[in-house]
Amino acid sequence: MRAPNLFGRGERVQIEYSHGSKKTSNFNIGFIKPFRGRHRSTLTTSIFQANSEWPTSGYKQLERGLLLDLGFYSAPLLKHNIQWEANIRDLSVLSKTTSFAVREQAGLSLKSSLRHVLSVDLRDDVIFPTSGSLFQLTSEVAGVGGDVGYLRNDFFLQSNYSIWEDVVLQGCLAGGHMSSISNDMKIGMSDMYYLGGPLSIRGFDMRGVGPHSERDALGAMSYWSAGLHLFTPLPFRPGKGGFGELFRTHLFVNAGNIGNFQLAKSEDLLERLKNNVRLSYGLGIALRLGNMARARSELLLSVYFR
């Protein structure tokens, strides 16, 4: 449910609610207020509840929280988001076979964090870009209250090049590292990095790469991933200029690694990053779903390098 232009100055309220077959319910109530001026500032306030289940990690989580977000531009294409998020999380085991390493983290935790997101988006399209780049850098400090504390930095880079008519080469690189800020504060499983699955390294199970305990993925404090993608029209261009433009042939190579890498030990860092690298490659068909997302059907091969 949306109420646009609520008070006549661009304000809007959005309410989303879902009820699952397992008697779980999620909701998000948001108030968005834009401001006039050259910085194009927008203030967003939201209250949310979210249920999530992670069978590959053996746990489920109920999260309730509050998010304040101030977005603005310091330059025409340089966007900043300054956020404060506070949430209460209830982590519980998913089955009787959940490992002890997961069970000992069950219970309530309170997280309060400050986050800064810097982004530059020069792409000509969000779903199937033909040119331009996207860069995003996220820095987060948790421990401004609560019992969860860490310093976390993530980056994401995507570049697109049109090498022929409607043939686009896309390169992606992402990575992140986090560290504890206090021995009295913890880092929970839901804060860790995970790798594997269709959104990171295709061909591996969701969260299938990295440290495990009795088949439960535990996550890690550092990761990197890279991808090279080639998008082309469908062979023989069926439906050219119409329905066929929603589809692309997709060839890809993905690689990445995850672990508890120590950045201070530079002599061992490159060796650790190269060890146990996972790689997958394949081809498929990508479908454009409006301006929101894309779906894929793929045939692939996965390789594990020790």
Listing DSSP states for 81-141 in one string gives EEEEEEEEEEEEE-STT--HHHHTT-EEEEEEEEEEEEEEE--S-SSS-SSEEEEEEEEEE
Identify the pLDDT of residue 245: 83
Identify the pLDDT of residue 265: 57
Identify the pLDDT of residue 244: 81
Angle of CA points 107, 113, 114, to nearest 5°:
170
- Comparing C-alpha atoms, which of 210, 176, 172, 178 is closest to residue 194? 210
Read off the pTM.
0.89
Task: Report how far residue 276's alpha carbon sits from residue 203's, in angstroms, rounded to the nearest whole number.
Answer: 16
- Comparing C-alpha atoms, which of 127, 162, 126 is closest to residue 246? 127
- Comparing C-alpha atoms, which of 18, 109, 19 is closest to residue 59? 109
Task: Report how far residue 165's alpha carbon sits from residue 203's, in angstroms, rounded to the nearest whole number.
Answer: 30
Which domains, and CATH codes, for the chain? 2-304 (2.40.160.50)
CB 211 within 8 A of CB 221: no
Identify the pLDDT of residue 269: 61
Task: Return per-residue pLDDT of the chain as tens, 306 residues.
Answer: 999 988 888 999 999 999 988 778 999 999 999 999 999 999 999 999 999 999 999 999 999 999 999 999 999 999 999 999 999 999 999 999 999 999 999 999 999 999 999 999 999 999 899 999 999 999 999 998 899 999 999 999 999 999 988 899 999 999 999 999 988 899 989 999 999 988 888 888 899 998 999 999 999 999 999 999 999 998 878 877 778 888 899 999 999 999 887 765 555 666 666 778 899 998 888 888 877 777 777 776 656 555
Identify the pLDDT of residue 304: 57
Task: Report how far residue 112's alpha carbon sits from residue 84's, in angstroms, rounded to the nearest whole number.
Answer: 7
Task: Report how far residue 84's alpha carbon sits from residue 116's, in angstroms, rounded to the nearest whole number.
Answer: 9
**Could you tell me if residue 248 is left (phi over 0), alpha (psi between -120 and 50 degrees) or otherwise beta?**
beta
Q: Copy the structure tokens of residue 143.
A: 């421990």
Other C-beta atoms closer than 10 Å to the C-beta of 117 total: 17
Task: Report how far residue 262's alpha carbon sits from residue 266's, in angstroms, rounded to the nearest whole number.
Answer: 8
CB 87 within 8 A of CB 66: yes
Q: Copy the structure tokens of residue 64.
A: 């309730």
CB 191 within 8 A of CB 148: yes
3-class state of residue 243 by DSSP: helix
CB 88 within 8 A of CB 59: no
**Helix residue ranges per DSSP H, the chain:** 100-103, 266-274
Other C-beta atoms closer than 10 Å to the C-beta of 246 total: 16
CB 278 within 8 A of CB 204: yes
Task: Report how far residue 305's alpha carbon sits from residue 171's, in angstroms, rounded to the nearest whole number.
Answer: 21
Task: Report how far residue 158's alpha carbon sits from residue 231's, in angstroms, rounded to the nearest whole number.
Answer: 14
Task: State CA 132 to chain mean position distance.
Answer: 21
Other C-beta atoms closer than 10 Å to the C-beta of 179 total: 15
